Structure 1
Amino acid sequence: MKETFAHEFAIFNVARRLPLADRSSYLDQACGGDGALRARVEELLGAAEDAQGFLKDPAPGAQRFGAADAASTRVQGTVAPGEKAGDRIGRYKLLQQIGEGGCGLVYMAEQEEPVRRRVALKVIKLGMDTKQVIARFEAERQALAMMDHPNIARVLDAGATQAGRPYFVMELVRGIKITDYCDEHHLSMKERLGLFMQICLAVQHAHQKGIIHRDLKPSNILVASNDGVPVPKVIDFGIAKATQGRLTDQTLFTAFEQFIGTPAYMSPEQAELTMQDVDTRTDIYSLGVLLYELLTGKTPLDQNELLAAGLEAMRRTIREKEPVRPSTRLGTLLKEELTTTAKQRHTDAPKLVHDLRGDLDWIVMKCLEKDRARRYETANGLANDVRRHLTCEPVVARPPSKLYRFKKLALRNKLAFAAAGAVVAALVIGLAAATWEYFKERKALQRAEAVSVLLQQMLSAADPDGLKGSAYTVRDLLDDFAAGLTNQLAGQPEAEATVRLTIGRTYAQLGIISGAEANLCRALDLRQRTLGKDHPQTLEVLEVLVNFISGVERKWGRGNQPRP
């Protein structure tokens, strides 16, 4: 029952972030035709909207309720009108609403005593003051209170409204999200990396205090100008997690913690339903996404595509899909978009792509490793590697070895590699047998060497780092290999005949009739000319060819064979 509720709440949590026009299509995919599940999710969505609005004719002493409480208990009631500009909470006068989260509202407020200053006041939304929300709110307040860093918004005060809803007061950050600031001010790559290093040091401070942010993204990193100098501030520790102990004595119901974060910035381990094993390296992944976006203007995984895919497909994509390098991503942009992206970085398109290749590509990709053991251990380590890049020192990040990339390619394309493995195995067996036979003859060594060279060339064609990449098919491999045999084995007809026989058999097993027929006929011709018509090896090829033709005619009829 708990797992069922966690699943429907996870769908609700994604759906409530979407525009109303997009919710229906998302629910179609996420619920997969389960009408009962969809009805429960829609009930949660309706309750969440009711909890934020006003009901006519309020009942005296009506009970407060949150989205999940309303759906499960069907409490009928209302909530008091919300705060507005001019109202007071404690010693703070509300001036205007400046932000809104899933459970809280943020106001610009004016403190009048003991000093007069502008502050940011965050209070739980009316109707959302459930035990779970209050626990999370208290956790954020405690997390911020534990930290003291120039790039993290400071907590100044805390308390509760007359109705008992908790609030806390932070320094007012008069800034905009970091990506907008960088683009609007046309910051160069060096300037962007400078801001990014400051953010890394702020995150490192949080980690040293035992706090994992878990929702690092541009809207949670604001940049303001201080005497003309941009100063980034990390905000919103609303879903922060303690690495040791607890941030609050309140109990968080784990079902509500099943899908926390923003999909495009979420680490693979956050996409797991339990999230029990999330550590500080989840923030390293999110920092990598942020750096990717600062450099290219795009996130590694598109947010809209993730949301449109449905919950399960979204989680699978986050866990399994390997992002392309930043420099490669720029190459996929339309010319106009690439030009705009370069101008926003105070450079031109060719130089932007050139600057990303190498160190920056590998620094970003090290952050984005699916295996967190391969990421930077600390945010400080990431900042140091960026600094090394800026000072032209060798960076820690390096491109993965060819063996590692080949393994990853094989894992992503298991079926194709299984087929290719069967082909390679057949060729190896055939070539090994041929080599053994020829060792008995006068030119055995030369023939064995020629066969070995050919085998190496064939295997190197499947290199994932080559130009042909992972789209290179088994048939492409055979076609290219067969096409070069005549030149590669010029003057060695017996060796060529043996290889042609193996390739012909492989084509036949794959159902590629034209390739099988051509190679078997070539093998028969070579052996007839070099060994004679009655030689056992010649008769072996003839038998294979006759059986092949007979099989094709039985399947397709004489003269009707397809020619793939």
Structure 2
Amino acid sequence: MTNPTERAIFLQAIEEENLDDRLAYLDSACGDDANLRQSVEGLLAAHEQPAALLDHPIGADRSRPFLARELVDESVDHIGMQIGPYKLREQIGEGGFGLVFVAEQEQPVRRRVALKIVKPGVGSKEVIARFEAERQAVALMNHPNITQVFEAGVTTDHRPYFVMELVRGLPITEFCDEKQLDVRDRLNLMIDVCSAVHHAHQKGVIHRDIKPSNVMVTLHDGKAVAKVIDFGVAKALGQKLTDKTVYTRFFSMIGTPLYMSPEQAKMSSLDVDTRSDIYSLGVLLYELLVGATPFDRGRLDSAGLDEMRRIIREEEPPRPSTRLSTLTAERIRSLGIQSGGMGPSQSRSFSSDLRGDLDWIVMKALEKDRTRRYDSAASLAQDIRHYLQGEPVTARPPSKFYQFQKFARRNRVVIGIVTLVGCTMVLGTAASLWQMSQAIQERNAKDEALRGAMVAKAEAITAKQEVELFATYLTQANELVASGHAHLNAGQWSEAARDYDAAVEIQPSYYLPRVQRAQLYARLHLWPEAAKDYAIALANGARTTQPQWWGVPALFRFTGHLGEYQRLAEQYQVQLMKEPEEPDWLLLRGLMVGDPAEPIALV
């Protein structure tokens, strides 16, 4: 095998125990290179069943892919098989090298159990070693949330098996969604899972493949009980799980990518410890709360191996509340998640519950730097309990003030020097700024005074122009009034009216043109028009003591201008009261036209 690419693909492919996963990996790794694909498939076949090369030589059949699974003796009928005191009844699971059955035990007790046995035809040394390692790992456990091993042995055809507690349940995510559990119930289940994983760590075993399908939930007396299963890729700490050699190749990924820690994605088991399981627990908690994994499943499936590893190692996933708010819109559009079971209203409730402490708990477990994760599964469980009891959680990030205090304690001398220099600079800057502000204020005061003077000058010029314009208009109006008066005396009514109209248009607020035009209207017996002009002239401040006004009160009275009549009457009364001994009989006659409250018809 001189081609290093072929070697790397082969070493990775033999770690893919599921046939579909292996095929998908080969499709991605080999691409369109048919020769490379055939070579790798032949090597896989030789690895699993060396003797089969006599019947299936490498490259003999180029019409279809050849995988090790084809070498399994599918003729063995397990249903009904008797293995010791156990009779196989129903197959309930299948892995890369093992089959899981429901079995009935008759003696010494009658019960149903789960029996896991190596597949026929795949009994290579590495497969047997991994199987026995799993069997030993589970046998070490004694925890209510980990499946219990009852017995182990070897069949008559030399295939190892072990018997364990039968868990009839659903993967934890499916169970929570189907039962529509709220946040509190999901967190309580997660505490049990953390407790089980912590127990495994105390026994010196790292699970390395924590995911929903390996955490089953069943009901015991109406209470949900979580069971951690499948220690098939478990790793021992400081001990050997089997006398046989279990070698994890340097360029291999152990676990499921969606739930894999960054150190697992390095494709080496040399640097994996219990904190790798903490990361997987964080992913599981994320999925329980959000309904999706931190990284999109479709994106990882479509990415190549190197890109997938880069995403896991480098990219920061969104916080659960942020991811849920994004998913909520999709759920509303689809009237609820068909696969997840949470409806829109429940999603919105979850989003509000997640903000804050739960966000920080999950993100602490998902830290890329494992030294910043929880140091144990028990610590993660304890923080979840703190949240449920309304107590402070350790995952909440420290405040900026706290971080500064820690930094200051570590760098007291530097902080002191920087503070002294800073104070000196601040004081000098403050003095400079004060002097500059004083100068700016003086300059602004001068500018303001200059602007005031300029505004006053502009206003004076405008006022002068307005006065000059008013005087010009006033002169023109007086000239028109004089012209109209001459026409009036000559009996030229239309010419007089034209001049008076022009004077009124030039100076609408000047009372004299209106008084003159009112007199013209009165002479022509246009009483309403005359009364209107007199009323406007009165409002504009005309002097009412002149002879032109002696008959106006009667005109106002007869034309219905009662308000103007009353105002003119009050002026006359004031004037009459000034000289009561010698009254102005013409003014008095103007007031003697009747009660203004009584309507008088105009004749």
> Does the TM-score normalized on the shorter chain lie above 0.5?
yes
Structure 1 CA distance, aligned partners of 2:374 and 2:442?
Answer: 55
Residue 91 to residue 6, structure 1, CA distance change in 2 (3 Å): farther
Question: Residue 118 of structure 1: CA displacement?
Answer: 0.3
Question: Residue 87 of structure 1: CA displacement?
Answer: 1.2
Q: Which amino acid aligns with 1:379?
A: A
1:15-44: per-residue Cα shift (whole Å, max 9, x none)?
774749x956x6454336665543333445
* Secondary structure of 1:333's aligned partner: helix
1:242-272: per-residue Cα shift (whole Å, max 9, x none)?
1112111111233288211001000001111
* Secondary structure of 1:290's aligned partner: helix
* Secondary structure of 1:247's aligned partner: coil
Matched, 1:181 2:175: yes
The aligned residue for residue 556 of structure 2 is none
Structure 1 CA distance, aligned partners of 2:238 and 2:6?
Answer: 28
* Secondary structure of 2:8's aligned partner: helix
Question: Residue 316 of structure 1: CA displacement?
Answer: 1.3
Of 377, 381, 386, the residue aligned with 2:384 is 386
User: RMSD between aligned alpha carbons?
Assistant: 4.0
Matched, 1:309 2:303: yes
Q: Which amino acid aligns with 1:110?
A: E
1:178-209: per-residue Cα shift (whole Å, max 9, x none)?
11110111111100000000010001110000
1:208-260: per-residue Cα shift (whole Å, max 9, x none)?
00010000000001111111111110000011111112111111233288211
Residue 333 to residue 86, structure 1, CA distance change in 2 (3 Å): same
The aligned residue for residue 317 of structure 2 is 323
* Secondary structure of 1:167's aligned partner: strand
The aligned residue for residue 277 of structure 1 is 271
User: Once structures 1 and 2 are overlaid, which stretch shifts more, 90-99 or 7-16?
Assistant: 7-16
Q: Which amino acid aligns with 2:324?
A: L
Question: Residue 320 of structure 1: CA displacement?
Answer: 0.8
Matched, 1:244 2:238: yes
User: What are the residue-to-residue correspondences of 1:258-269 with 2, within 5 Å?
Assistant: 258-269=252-263
Q: Which amino acid aligns with 2:100?
A: V
Of 145, 152, 159, the residue aligned with 2:153 is 159
Residue 35 to residue 230, structure 1, CA distance change in 2 (3 Å): same
* Secondary structure of 1:86's aligned partner: coil
Question: Residue 152 of structure 1: CA displacement?
Answer: 0.4
The aligned residue for residue 41 of structure 1 is 40
Residue 47 to residue 306, structure 1, CA distance change in 2 (3 Å): farther
What TM-score, normalized to structure 2? 0.60
Structure 2 CA distance, aligned partners of 1:312 and 1:196?
Answer: 32
Matched, 1:340 2:359: no
The aligned residue for residue 30 of structure 1 is 29
1:430-480: per-residue Cα shift (whole Å, max 9, x none)?
xxxxxx9xx99x99647999xxxxxxxxxxxxxxxxxxxxxxxxxxxxxxx
Structure 2 CA distance, aligned partners of 1:281 and 1:347?
Answer: 35
The aligned residue for residue 497 of structure 1 is none
1:36-66: per-residue Cα shift (whole Å, max 9, x none)?
5433334456779x97xxx9x999xxxxxxx
The aligned residue for residue 129 of structure 2 is 135
The aligned residue for residue 205 of structure 1 is 199
The aligned residue for residue 369 of structure 2 is 371
- Contact kept? 2:19, 2:96, Cα under 8 Å: no
Structure 1 gaps, min length 5:
60-69, 406-435, 450-488, 493-564
* Secondary structure of 2:287's aligned partner: helix
- Contact kept? 2:17, 2:97, Cα under 8 Å: no
- Contact kept? 2:331, 2:344, Cα under 8 Å: no
* Secondary structure of 2:91's aligned partner: strand
Residue 157 to residue 23, structure 1, CA distance change in 2 (3 Å): closer
Residue 77 to residue 219, structure 1, CA distance change in 2 (3 Å): closer
Structure 2 CA distance, aligned partners of 1:307 and 1:132?
Answer: 27
Question: Residue 353 of structure 1: CA displacement?
Answer: 1.1
Structure 2 CA distance, aligned partners of 1:104 and 1:11?
Answer: 19
The aligned residue for residue 545 of structure 1 is none
Seq. identity, %: 54
Matched, 1:7 2:8: yes
- Contact kept? 1:263, 1:303, Cα under 8 Å: no
- Contact kept? 2:98, 2:118, Cα under 8 Å: yes
Question: Residue 273 of structure 1: CA displacement?
Answer: 2.1
Number of residue pairs matched by the alignment: 403
Structure 2 CA distance, aligned partners of 1:491 and 1:23?
Answer: 84
Question: Residue 78 of structure 1: CA displacement?
Answer: 7.4
Question: Residue 307 of structure 1: CA displacement?
Answer: 2.4
Q: Which amino acid aligns with 2:383?
A: D
The aligned residue for residue 360 of structure 1 is 358
Residue 141 to residue 18, structure 1, CA distance change in 2 (3 Å): closer
What TM-score, normalized to structure 1? 0.64
Q: Which amino acid aligns with 1:364?
A: V
Q: Which amino acid aligns with 2:29?
A: A
Structure 2 CA distance, aligned partners of 1:336 and 1:85?
Answer: 44
User: Once structures 1 and 2 are overlaid, which stretch shifts more, 328-337 or 96-105?
Assistant: 328-337
Structure 2 CA distance, aligned partners of 1:126 and 1:204?
Answer: 35
Structure 2 gaps, min length 5:
57-64, 404-424, 444-603
Structure 1 CA distance, aligned partners of 2:299 and 2:28?
Answer: 12
Q: Which amino acid aligns with 1:399?
A: P
User: Once structures 1 and 2 are overlaid, which stretch shifts more, 343-352 or 292-301?
Assistant: 343-352
User: Once structures 1 and 2 are overlaid, which stretch shifts more, 358-367 or 299-308?
Assistant: 299-308
1:77-118: per-residue Cα shift (whole Å, max 9, x none)?
874732421111122100010001111000000011111110
Question: Residue 398 of structure 1: CA displacement?
Answer: 1.7
Structure 2 CA distance, aligned partners of 1:15 and 1:198?
Answer: 30
- Contact kept? 1:27, 1:310, Cα under 8 Å: no
Matched, 1:223 2:217: yes
* Secondary structure of 1:344's aligned partner: coil
- Contact kept? 1:152, 1:233, Cα under 8 Å: yes
1:121-175: per-residue Cα shift (whole Å, max 9, x none)?
0001112110001001000111111110000000001111111010000010111
